[in-house]
Structure 1
Amino acid sequence: MQEKAQKPLVGVVADVKFIAPHPFHTVGDKYLRALVQAADVVPVLIPALTDIVAVKSWLSRLDGVFLPGGYSMVHPGHYEGELIDGTLYDEARDELSLTIIRAALDLGKPLFGVCRGLQEMNVALGGSLHQNLHLTGQYIEHREDKSLTVEEQYADAHVVRCHADGQLARITGLEEYRVNSLHTQGIDRLAPGVTAEAVAEDGLVEAFSVDGATAFAMAVQWHPEWRVMDNQPNKKLFEAFGAACRRAMK
């Protein structure tokens, strides 16, 4: 019987959540399912233990890195912002994500960020964030309506327009399409050394790629993992990431 081809191992950054009486390292089910079904890779949880493990020692065993969304916000101390009372932060995840982003790019590992992952990549590379987009007076409402069902919250919310000659347009085959929107933070100052791949109707940067990266290195603000097998543009994004991870195996 012929053996099946080995699949890439993709590290998935974990949140740290306190579920009484202990802290847990967690990753959302929908991200893992999208990686398995659409990217055709084997996801491996990366715990936020940078205080006792060197990140590069993990990366040497991985073929790619995925940065999922999360309910916490990137700590503003990483981009000279101000603390906001009542905001949920996850500094252990921040430390892991910001370290692994830079290391993955240095090593030429494929890197894909979603929602919080986009925000982390922007901060890691020298950009800044709006902590509350809805309070700036500059943008449409990007937060989900929590009074709605989960299906309704993840429904398409607005259009993104892709750069005509960009990587995102080439991957999806589209210059414009509708996406969901479930985020409070967003990009303020775009990091140097990245290129905007898509913007929302209000001008908010919704996707970018890393200039000069030797492998797939892209982030999107929406949630392409949601019902990914039923959404061709988002499925193509995961397929492109998976293909890059398979190339990294060689």
Structure 2
Amino acid sequence: MVDIFYRPIVGVVMCSNPVKGQQSHTLQDKYLNAVLDAGGLPIALPHALAEPELLAGVMPLLDGVLLPGSPSNMQPHHYGENGDEPAADPGRDLLSIALIAQALERRIPIFAICRGLQELVVATGGTLYRRLCDHPQFLEHREDPDLPIDQQYAPSHEIKIQPDGLISQLIPGSKTFWVNSLHGQGAKTLGPRLRVEAYSQDGLPEAVSVLDHPYALGVQWHPEWKSSEYALSRLLLEGFITACQQHHAEKQQL
């Protein structure tokens, strides 16, 4: 039986950034607050957990996994391309790929946001557009850094929800939404385990899910931004936390 009052433990991947000359793990408050507001208990995950023995010790404690956005991009060798990535975070790449593999194997709910969607795509055999702005068929998906932060995160373009997917089950009858857009890369090809949940008006996949999984969803926009103020954001996060509660209840029965 699912305990709707239980706060599921959600592991949130951290980023690596220099702070006052020292390499540090960082995690923006908006991701932690979004999990808390939806009823979860966020736990920050450092990159050292990519070590198999350490990760194996952590996974049984988690009821869900959140892969947040980041200014960094995945290193291209993870999806079969050559060259360097100037804004790289190799430790996060390794942890996220290992974490996704373990979460899928254990059927732990996943919610992947922006860079997180790209990690989910790559970890399941897909590829990325390294620079969407080099492809004229796409809209400008990057934010304008000169605008105030509230305007950067304001709804920017429309997405079309695909029928018979996870999002359409969570929000029956809704076919289109406006979402924000703050990314320079995007999903190019998907592996066989993923389905497209939503497209942008230019044809770019804006949301994906893992087939035959209780809740493994990636979105290219940022629902964590003022999540309680937008119906779509609130419903996606609440759906994720409900799936985490269900996973915890199933673990208790084993």
Give the TM-score normalised by the residue count of structure 2. Answer: 0.92
Alpha-carbon distance between aligned partners in 2 of 1:106 and 1:187, rounded to the nearest angstrom: 23
3-state DSSP of counterpart to 2:233: helix
3-state DSSP of counterpart to 1:188: strand
In the alignment, structure 1 segments of 5+ residues that lack a partner are none
Q: CA offset at residue 148 of structure 1?
A: 0.5
Give % identity.
Answer: 38
**Aligned 1:135-174 pairs, distance under 5 A:** 135-173=134-172, 174=174
**Aligned 1:1-250 pairs, distance under 5 A:** 5-38=5-38, 40-49=39-48, 50-51=50-51, 54-84=54-84, 87-173=86-172, 174-213=174-213, 215-250=214-249
Alpha-carbon distance between aligned partners in 2 of 1:93 and 1:58, rounded to the nearest angstrom: 16
Q: CA offset at residue 24 of structure 1?
A: 1.2
Deviations 1:191-230 (A, max 9, x none): 22111000000000000110111x2111000001111111
3-state DSSP of counterpart to 1:233: helix
When the two chains are superposed, the root-mean-square deviation of aligned CA atoms in Å is 1.4
Alpha-carbon distance between aligned partners in 2 of 1:226 and 1:21, rounded to the nearest angstrom: 29
Higher helix fraction: Structure 1 or Structure 2? 2
Conserved? CA contact 1:65–1:104, under 8 Å: yes
Aligned residue identity for 1:126 = G
Alpha-carbon distance between aligned partners in 2 of 1:226 and 1:53, rounded to the nearest angstrom: 34
Conserved? CA contact 1:63–1:109, under 8 Å: yes
Over 3 Å off, 4+ runs: none
Conserved? CA contact 1:162–1:176, under 8 Å: yes
3-state DSSP of counterpart to 2:17: strand
3-state DSSP of counterpart to 2:189: coil
Alpha-carbon distance between aligned partners in 2 of 1:192 and 1:157, rounded to the nearest angstrom: 30
Deviations 1:57-114 (A, max 9, x none): 11111111000000100110101123256x2100000000000001100011011100
Alpha-carbon distance between aligned partners in 2 of 1:172 and 1:83, rounded to the nearest angstrom: 41
Conserved? CA contact 2:75–2:84, under 8 Å: no
Alpha-carbon distance between aligned partners in 1 of 2:182 and 2:60, rounded to the nearest angstrom: 33
Alpha-carbon distance between aligned partners in 1 of 2:197 and 2:41, rounded to the nearest angstrom: 27
Give the TM-score normalised by the residue count of structure 1. Answer: 0.94
Aligned residue identity for 1:116 = R
3-state DSSP of counterpart to 1:60: helix
Q: CA offset at residue 55 of structure 1?
A: 1.4
Alpha-carbon distance between aligned partners in 2 of 1:133 and 1:231, rounded to the nearest angstrom: 27
Deviations 1:99-135 (A, max 9, x none): 0001100011011100000000000000000111011
In the alignment, structure 2 segments of 5+ residues that lack a partner are 250-254
Aligned residue identity for 1:243 = T
Alpha-carbon distance between aligned partners in 1 of 2:225 and 2:117, rounded to the nearest angstrom: 16
Conserved? CA contact 1:132–1:184, under 8 Å: yes
Aligned position for 2:252: none
Conserved? CA contact 1:172–1:234, under 8 Å: no
